[in-house]
Amino acid sequence: MKELKIKTPTSEYPIYITEGFNGLAAAFETAGFSGRKLCIITDSNVAPLYLDKIKALLSGYDVSSYVFKAGEESKNLDTISDFYKHFIDERLDRKSVLVALGGGVTGDMTGFAAATYMRGIPFVQIPTTLLAQVDSSVGGKTGVDFLGNKNMVGAFYQPSFVYINSQTLSTLPKEQVASGMAEAVKTAYIIDKDLLTYFNENAPAIKALDPEKIGHVIYSCCKAKAWVVNRDEKESGLREILNFGHTFGHAVEKLSGFKLLHGECVAIGMAAAMHLAADMDKTTENDLLDAEKLLQFFDLPIRAENFGTDDIYKQMFYDKKTKNGKLNIIVLEEIGKAYTEKNAPEDAVKAAIAHIAGDKK
């Protein structure tokens, strides 16, 4: 079991990274939760796979559970209302602990419910998707979608601990694994050059979810994200670099009507962002080709064939992170280092989009 200590300006908590659930009960004890009421929140896909097992491991506790219908469509205030009703029925109080068992949807909603129920009760993350293990469970962003706007309502709220069992990835559909891998590759490019080397040297084993290799990837990503979040918990600057590939990617995601998975769009967005960095002489054409090869190896798309350059360009201005009509694009300063570019040359941006768009000549 590996352990990472996360320190933010407002809290401190451990992330455990391991290959089973054996250490789970001990983690609850270490957190000082002995004797507390627990409520496990999970979705309809994850519940049949892991809920009974977790309940059995926590048999020393008074545990209830709430299962919601899997999918982003459930990530809204109606579901949160259902959670609150369950909490009241179960008489959860300020000492009770919520447990998020599932992917990013479960984690974001459980965290938001924990931040708001009785003005805040503790919660624990047990992420079961690669995306949640390398990205969403770290950093304290919680929330729900509202009227079709992603993550419009939410709070910054940190968990008491994160328990990552990489074995849960064995049941995760392949395209979901690929989607999470896009965020992991992103992390390597913006923060951790050594991780990129590791990716290139161990790609087949990582893809096969070899426990040691995927464990190292998860550990490195959590560490890198924690490093960023520690310096900028509420996204006033540095944290923006986590959006590498996302300004392009979000546009594609929206144009696809959210049919493409988030990580798939991030991969496409990274191909555009790598093109931009090469165009701005920060990195080389070869770096772009290497990145595209790596993404493709993980079965990720790197082109948005169905969309035109102009459509993607226009859509980018609707991004909620576009400030004052100006595009904020995360650009690589070099491999392993990124910054927010507020004045990317329009020609270079359009060329980057043309590189991924379907109307490329």
| Residues engaged in binding ligand NAD (CB under 6 A) | 43, 45-46, 49, 70-72, 75, 102-106, 108, 128-129, 131-132, 135-136, 139, 141, 150-151, 168, 171-172, 176, 179
Give the shortest CB-183-to-ligand NAD separation in angstroms: 7
Buried b (16+ CB within 10 A) or exposed e, 212-247: ebbbbbbbbbbbbbbebbeebbebeebbbbbbbbbb
Burial of 272 (0-12, 13-18, 19+ CB in 10 A): buried
262 is catalytic: yes
Long-range interactions of 3-9: CB distance < 8 A, separation 24+: 4/219, 4/222, 4/223, 4/226, 6/138, 6/158, 6/162, 6/222, 6/226, 6/229, 6/230, 7/226, 7/230, 8/140, 8/158, 8/229, 8/230, 8/233, 9/230, 9/233
Q: How many of the other CB atoms lie within 10 Å of CB of 69?
A: 10
Q: Could you tell me the CA-to-CA distances from 216 to 16, 102, 208, 307, 340 in Å, in that order?
A: 12, 21, 14, 36, 28
Structure tokens at 216: 């190292």
Q: Of 32 and 48, which has the nearer Cβ to ligand NAD?
A: 48
Q: Of 132 and 291, which has the nearer Cβ to ligand NAD?
A: 132
**Residue in 36, 250, 275, 355 annotated catalytic:** 250
225 is catalytic: yes
239 is catalytic: yes
**Residue in 36, 213, 223, 239 annotated catalytic:** 239
Helical (H) or strand (E) element with 127 = strand 123-127
SS3 content of the chain, % helix, strand, coil (to 5): 50, 20, 30
* 249 alpha carbon, distance to own chain's centre: 14
183 is catalytic: yes
Q: Are 50 and 101 in contact (CB under 8 A)?
A: yes
Q: Of 164 and 291, which has the nearer Cβ to ligand NAD?
A: 164
Q: Of 172 and 291, which has the nearer Cβ to ligand NAD?
A: 172
**Residue in 183, 240, 264, 341 annotated catalytic:** 183
Give the shortest CB-123-to-ligand NAD separation in angstroms: 13
Give the shortest CB-348-to-ligand NAD separation in angstroms: 27
**Residue in 36, 186, 223, 246 annotated catalytic:** 246
Give me the amino acid identity at 23: G
Give the shortest CB-78-to-ligand NAD separation in angstroms: 15
**Residue in 213, 243, 341, 355 annotated catalytic:** 243
**Residue in 216, 225, 275, 355 annotated catalytic:** 225
91 is catalytic: no
Give the shortest CB-166-to-ligand NAD separation in angstroms: 10
Instruction: Give CA–CA dist 296/271, Å, rounded.
Output: 11
Q: Of 162 and 349, which has the nearer Cβ to ligand NAD?
A: 162
**Residue in 19, 72, 90, 235 annotated catalytic:** 235
141 is catalytic: yes
Q: Of 128 and 283, which has the nearer Cβ to ligand NAD?
A: 128
Ordered alpha helix ranges (H), the chain: 24-30, 52-57, 77-89, 104-116, 130-131, 174-190, 193-207, 211-231, 246-255, 262-279, 285-297, 309-316, 346-356
Q: Of 81 and 171, which has the nearer Cβ to ligand NAD?
A: 171
Give the shortest CB-49-to-ligand NAD separation in angstroms: 6
Give the shortest CB-50-to-ligand NAD separation in angstroms: 7
Q: Which residues have a catalytic role annotated?
A: 119, 141, 183, 225, 235, 239, 243, 246, 250, 262
